[in-house]
Amino acid sequence: MKKTIILLALLMATTMQAQQIKVYLNAGHGSWGPNDRPMPTIPYPMLPETGRPDTCGFYESNTNLWKTLECGTRLKRNGNFKVKYSRTKNGPYPYREGASNEFRYNRSLSEISAEVDTWGADMFLSIHSNATSEGALVNYPLFLYRGTDAEDYAANSKAMCQKIWPRLTEAMHADFEPMTHYQSSTNIRGDIDFYHSSWTNDKGITGYLGVLHHLSPGFLSEGFFHTYQPSRHRALNKDWCRQEGIRYYRGILDYFNVNTDSLGCIMGQLHSRKKSSDLELFAAISGSLDEYMPANGITVRLKDNNGEIVDTYETDQNYNGIFVFYDLRPGRYYIEMKGEGFRTRQGKVNATTVKAKTTTYKSIFMIDGESTPFDDETGIEGVSSSQSTPQNIYDLSGRRVTTPRKGIYIIDGKKIAF
């Protein structure tokens, strides 16, 4: 009996293994060298000694890797997928041209495409961002598969693009970031027609992009334009990149008809009412939220419908105002904020609904004013008329108060929020 159960378990395990969908993920580029699209941002300028920022600055290789690892981690956790990465690291640092380890993570495209076929991937995805002239007010995605516009040479590549496109563009369609073209269409192209060129490798595979010279269906995604400066500052935020990875992941679930993700996320961005036009390296698309200053260093708290704190996030100092809360049970949440120079917002504010397998996008304007602690940080939350009320309470104009309502009061010389 025992033997039969073990055998049965083994058999089930092998069957599950056999059913696993193999996804090959290629994070574009891979060193901190000049071909990794280094570009300046406000906090991380180009260094005079290298002409590149330090490794915290914008390199496409960093952002591609964050997106890719998030997508792959979730696919693996899902259980229906097997994942192979072309790389899981960046580097080496410092980059030295001609060094023996120069291409350790920046592998040749022919080597990668050969590996895709050797492994027998059911799907291939190469993750990049796009570029045009620096500071151009252009932002939209591009998916490229091997073939012509009329025909995908690896069957189903086009179908994958069409299924995943709506997922990738969710943030743009939610006006979370501007989308200058293709709002009501798609930008899915055959690489041969896009580049007006093609070549055939030693295995007889014809296409344009080296990394697509394999037989597995799939595509290369240029998720956004990193030459659009406000988006480049967003890309400095790892969680913003991870959210792009999650959108690919959800698109892949859609394509393979796997619906097992019961949780959702919130991605928000905070702005002040001040215009961003004084910032260097921040040319904003007119009519977009990028025309306003992103709010750095703001404490954001997520509360559930019962008022319990679910998570806390601090927006970074990189001029994006991004905050992200992951893997939330569907339901209603509230977003509290406090930060220097802004009025603290707390309680049932910024109501947000989370749905399964979805990210809710939330853009919030901060209100100029005095920052005060969150109620529960004052240590006197819950004081009611039945409890002893502190003596010597004054309002901000110095008037003595006997029954404090909600607001800021001075008690024993200290400002306290009720």
- For 12, 79, 99, 119, the CA distances from 19, given in Å and listed in that order, are 10, 10, 42, 15
Interaction of residue 128 with Zn ion, rule CB under 5 A: yes
User: In the complex with Zn ion, which residue's Cβ is closer, 227 or 350?
Assistant: 227
User: In the complex with Zn ion, which residue's Cβ is closer, 207 or 404?
Assistant: 207
User: In the complex with Zn ion, which residue's Cβ is closer, 128 or 232?
Assistant: 128
Interaction of residue 141 with Zn ion, rule CB under 5 A: no
Q: How far is the CB of 28 from Zn ion (least distance, A)?
A: 4
Give the whole-angstrom CA distance, residue 176 versus residue 174.
Answer: 5
Could you give the string, one character per residue 274-293, with x where binding to Zn ion holds by CB under 5 A and - elsewhere? --------------------
Interaction of residue 28 with Zn ion, rule CB under 5 A: yes
Range 50-69, binding Zn ion (CB under 5 A): 60
User: By CB under 5 A, how many residues form the interface with Zn ion?
Assistant: 3
Q: How far is the CB of 50 from Zn ion (least distance, A)?
A: 20
Please list the residues that pair with 323 across neighbouring strands: 268
Given the rule CB under 5 A, which of 8-16, 21-29, 88-96, 254-262 is the region that contacts Zn ion?
21-29
Give the whole-angstrom CA distance, residue 324 versus residue 327.
Answer: 10
Q: How far is the CB of 206 from Zn ion (least distance, A)?
A: 22
Interaction of residue 338 with Zn ion, rule CB under 5 A: no
Q: How far is the CB of 33 from Zn ion (least distance, A)?
A: 13
User: In the complex with Zn ion, which residue's Cβ is closer, 129 or 296?
Assistant: 129
CB atoms within 10 A of CB 376: 14
Q: At a CB cut-off of 8 Å and minimum separation 6, what does 103 contact?
A: 30, 31
Environment class of residue 22 by beta-carbon count within 10 Å: exposed (0-12), middle (13-18) or buried (19+)?
Answer: middle
Give the whole-angstrom CA distance, residue 141 versus residue 136.
Answer: 15
Give the whole-angstrom CA distance, residue 25 versus residue 116.
Answer: 9
Given the rule CB under 5 A, which of 104-112, 127-135, 321-329, 385-393 is the region that contacts Zn ion?
127-135
Tokens of 226: 């990193």
Q: How far is the CB of 171 from Zn ion (least distance, A)?
A: 19
Give the whole-angstrom CA distance, residue 125 versus residue 354.
Answer: 28
Given the rule CB under 5 A, which of 25-33, 69-77, 134-142, 313-321 is the region that contacts Zn ion?
25-33
Given the rule CB under 5 A, which of 9-17, 22-30, 175-183, 185-193 is the region that contacts Zn ion?
22-30
SS (H, E, C) 297-320: CCEEEEEECCCCEEEEEECCCCCC
Residue nearest to Zn ion according to CB distances in the complex: 128
Q: What is the DSSP letter of 338?
A: E
Place of tokens 């492994």: 119
User: In the complex with Zn ion, which residue's Cβ is closer, 65 or 253?
Assistant: 65
User: In the complex with Zn ion, which residue's Cβ is closer, 28 or 404?
Assistant: 28
Q: How far is the CB of 128 from Zn ion (least distance, A)?
A: 3
Please list the residues that pair with 400 across neighbouring strands: 394
Q: How far is the CB of 349 from Zn ion (least distance, A)?
A: 40
Tokens of 128: 């990049």
Interaction of residue 232 with Zn ion, rule CB under 5 A: no
User: In the complex with Zn ion, which residue's Cβ is closer, 194 or 326?
Assistant: 194
Q: How far is the CB of 29 from Zn ion (least distance, A)?
A: 6
In 3D space, the residue among 79, 82, 64, 74 whose CA is nearest the CA of residue 251 turns out to be 74
Environment class of residue 280 by beta-carbon count within 10 Å: exposed (0-12), middle (13-18) or buried (19+)?
Answer: exposed
- For 89, 100, 296, the CA distances from 94, given in Å and listed in that order, are 14, 13, 29
Residues in the chain: 418
User: In the complex with Zn ion, which residue's Cβ is closer, 81 or 219?
Assistant: 219
Could you give the string, one character per residue 69-108, with x where binding to Zn ion holds by CB under 5 A and - elsewhere? ----------------------------------------
Binding site residues, Zn ion, CB under 5 A: 28, 60, 128
